[in-house]
Each structure stands twice: as C-alpha cells, then as structure tokens.
Amino acid sequence: MADLNQNKPLSELIGSLLADVTGLIRKEITLAKTEASESLSRALGGLETLGIGLVLAIGALGVLLSAAVTGVTVLLVGQGFTETAASALAALIVGLLVGIIAWAMISRGFAALRANNWKLERTAASIGRDAEVVKEKTS
C-alpha cells in the first residue's frame, strides 16, 4: 500500500485523508448521539422509578402520621386494647410496609441516575481507535 501512495500526487493524498477524517467524524457524531440517547433513556427510567418511590413515601408518611395520631389517642383514652388500638396497630404495620417499598424504589432510582451511566464509553474508545488510524495514515 505504501507503493500506491508514493505514486499519487500530494493533493490527492491530502484529499483522501480529509475525506477519511470527515467520514470518521460523522460516524463518531452518530455514535455519540446514539449513546447519549441510550443514557437519556436509562436516566428517564430512573426518574420514573424515583417518582413512584416518592409518591409511595408520601403515602407512607400519611399512614404513619395517622397511626401515630390514633396511637396517641388510644393512650389518652385508656391503657387497654380496644378496637381503636387494633386500628392503630394495623395502620402502623401498613405504614411500615409502604415505607420499606418506597425506600427500595427510591434506592433503585438513585442507582439508575449514578454518574457512571452518563459516560460515553463506546464513543471514547472509538475516537481513540480513529486517532490511531489517522496517526498511521499521516506517518
């Protein structure tokens, strides 16, 4: 291949190199767009999970507050288990379960939004390979 390049005029070699570099840049831009789109899709999924978790957390807070109010009311009314006391205990159990589910959902949402999900690893690797090809062609 070195013999073929020696017989071509310099202007043709430069033109060929520019065409190759332009093509590589276009491919890199396309790859970057694709990878950024994939990262955005993952982030939106994380935001959706985070939103569901936050809604459940708000519901849990309401249930837990209701249980606390009912529990205090029961303590003030008397020291025995009545129907009201049973209702308070049930509300407390439900509130704790919803709170645990909300915590799990929020944790998953934050995990999906970690910074390493935003790296364009394939694009960076491809640009590195392209730079090596350009170096080889120019030397």
Q: Using the structure block, give the residue that is written with the tokens 């809604």.
A: 55
The pLDDT score that the predictor gives to residue 21 is 83
pTM above 0.85, yes or no: no
Q: pLDDT digits over 37-46, tens only?
A: 888 888 888 8
Percent of the chain with pLDDT over 70: 80
pLDDT band of residue 8 (cuts 50, 70, 90) is confident
The range of the structural domain enclosing residue 47 comes to: 2-138
Q: Using the structure block, give the residue that is written with the tokens 């590589």.
A: 24
The total number of structural domains that make up the chain: 1
The answer to whether 70 and 84 have CB atoms below 8 angstroms apart is: yes
